[in-house]
Structure 1
Amino acid sequence: MKRRKFIRNVSLGSIISGLTGFELIAAENNTKHADGFNLNYAPHFGMFQNHAGKDLVSQLDFMAAQGFRALEDNGMLGRPVEEQKKIAKALERLQMTMGVFVVDGGDNWKTSLTTGKEEFLENFINTCKRSVEVAKRVNAKWMTVVPGFYERNLPLGIQTGNVIEALKRGADIFEPHGLTMVLEPLSDTPELFLRYSDQSYAVCKAVGSPSCKILYDVYHMQRNEGNLIPNMEKCWDEIAYIQLGDNPGRKEPGTGEINYKNVFKFIASKGFEGIVGMEHGNASPGIDGEKALIKAYKEADQFKN
């Protein structure tokens, strides 16, 4: 055994007996799973608050202790600056990566990029500029963009053109900073404009920027189109970010019909080094539900390349 690893294990062993609750679970997991997971899974705040409490930094400490190396926080843009800085400092200390937050300028632009109206485009551009400031503050690289709802009084081609033009403007803002907006096709309502992986692929190709890529959410794509692995393969060169949830229910892997062990194996086989966001709820409440969630990821992550 290497000297550094031996000293680390002896030190951990000498203090575990004095720990309780969240600290004991964290120390045990650091001993057994010091190298974390095969893929870079990112929990979100609230997912482990029964273990760690409501304090955000304590939750980050707990995530890191379980082997998670990233965080997602859709609402980061709306957090106070001091809170953003506090989160960023904790992420740096824990050597965790910041995942996506949502470029959300309010319902007006979010439902109207398809229309091509200047007022909504201007709101979107201003929100992109604000997002650059936040991304720098928390060391984020990816921001989620949802074009909005299908506009029934406009032909599909016109709407697509409007969305592409808006995204080009957004890419012009993000590209000089090395940031990427990731387009997420969703299944929440049939009224949404962006719903399929091939549609998202076509839009990204038309925008033609490294700052405009696909956020492939396995849960949404299972609901909208299925055939997950072949469709991911077809769109792979435009996929920059991945999220997941099992279906039905949108809970952790193993609670629905998706064979996540095979999905994760495919993602790893592509050499994916980005973030796999845990964009789902807990199947069961309380501490036991959180333990079950961690166990589910450990089991689904047990694959051989």
Structure 2
Amino acid sequence: MSMLKFAANLSLLFTERPLIDRFAAARAAGFDAVEIQFPYTLSPEQIKQELDAHELNLVLINIPAGDWEAGERGLACLPGRETEFAAGLDQAIEWACSLKVGKLNCLAGVMPQDATAEQVARTLAGNLKLAAERCRQAGIELMIEAINTRDIPGFYLHHSEQVLKLISQLELPAAALQYDVYHMQIMEGNLISTLQQNADKIGHIQIADVPGRHEPGTGEINFTNLFKALESQGYPGYISLEYIPQGQTEAGLGWLATWMTQDERNELECSS
């Protein structure tokens, strides 16, 4: 029986429904954990009610990332936006404490055109130090994610090694790499060796296949080998399904049955 644990990303899965209704859908599909990229369109009270009603854990949320509609993908590397970043960090920590969320993800953002490389590096370092210390004080783990530059041109952190070096050089407490299999397959490949070599530095894993960012089995990644490797190294955290379903979410969950417990499998079969 697989010991891997899977979480549903409610920002990308079950989008046939309003966000408030996706908690029930995730539970019906056999999940006991969820994550939300940006939950801030709901209130903490609404989310807590859904988590309690459906016996779900919320394992990760993102720190607010600026004006998403305008193309912003994080504030941490943007000179002049430090006050806004700090306010978003405060909000995220408040929500995480209220909802018992153990991990906060920080998106560095897109390299601004009107700043020097030195300014950007200095800004990111200062913001990450602040975030890591505040998270440590709150008993939360700070995740830092690398994102591919094909989908988001100019994203500042785009390789695993960049994030790992920052965590080491800045001596960030309570910080780890958020390893997104989809982004890293595009940027660097060598998924299994990276996961194995950095097992103690990776705090959260997200998955989607390449190309298309759809469910496992739709692209080039050998998820059977990937999951076996994670099992063999005893990966203790959640693997989050952060993909865009090709059709209805439940119809694309068949691949997951092999890796679920029998109780979870029964729920998944009932929901399909």
TM-score by length of 2: 0.83
Structure 1, unmatched stretches of 5+, are 1-34
CA–CA distance in structure 1, aligned partners of residues 59 and 75 of structure 2: 26
CA–CA distance in structure 1, aligned partners of residues 111 and 42 of structure 2: 29
CA RMSD of aligned residues (A): 2.7
CA–CA distance in structure 2, aligned partners of residues 275 and 90 of structure 1: 21
**Equivalent residue number for residue 5 of structure 2:** 40
Contact residue 88 and residue 139 of structure 1 kept, 8 A: no
Distance 1:269 1:77, change over 3 A: farther
**What SS is found at the alignment partner of 2:131?**
helix
- Residue identity matched to 2:144: L
- Residue identity matched to 1:222: Q
**Equivalent residue number for residue 10 of structure 1:** none
For these two proteins, the number of residue pairs brought into alignment is 255
- How does 1:112-261 map onto structure 2 within 5 Å? 112-117=75-80, 120-152=81-113, 156=117, 159-187=120-148, 188-261=151-224
- Residue identity matched to 2:242: E
CA–CA distance in structure 2, aligned partners of residues 162 and 78 of structure 1: 28
Q: Are positions 1:263 and 2:226 aligned together?
A: yes
- How does 1:79-98 map onto structure 2 within 5 Å? 79-90=42-53, 94=55, 96-98=56-58
TM-score by length of 1: 0.74
- How does 1:38-117 map onto structure 2 within 5 Å? 38-45=3-10, 47-48=13-14, 54=18, 56=20, 59-90=22-53, 94=55, 96-107=56-67, 112-117=75-80
Q: Displacement, 1:271? A: 1.5
**Equivalent residue number for residue 290 of structure 1:** 250
Contact residue 39 and residue 273 of structure 1 kept, 8 A: yes
Q: Displacement, 1:68? A: 1.7
CA–CA distance in structure 1, aligned partners of residues 113 and 140 of structure 2: 32
Q: Displacement, 1:146? A: 0.7
Larger helix percent: 1
Write out per-residue CA displacement over residues 114-171 of structure 1, whole angstroms, 9 at most, x where no aligned residue: 3443xx1121112111111101221101111111112456554553343122100111
Write out per-residue CA displacement over residues 73-121 of structure 1, whole angstroms, 9 at most, x where no aligned residue: 1121332233123233235xx2x3212211115239855533443xx11
Contact residue 264 and residue 301 of structure 1 kept, 8 A: no
Structure 2, unmatched stretches of 5+, are 262-272
Q: Displacement, 1:218? A: 0.1
Q: Displacement, 1:250? A: 0.6
Contact residue 13 and residue 243 of structure 2 kept, 8 A: no
Q: Displacement, 1:47? A: 2.8
**What SS is found at the alignment partner of 1:170?**
helix
Distance 1:260 1:226, change over 3 A: same
Distance 1:186 1:266, change over 3 A: same
**What SS is found at the alignment partner of 2:40?**
helix
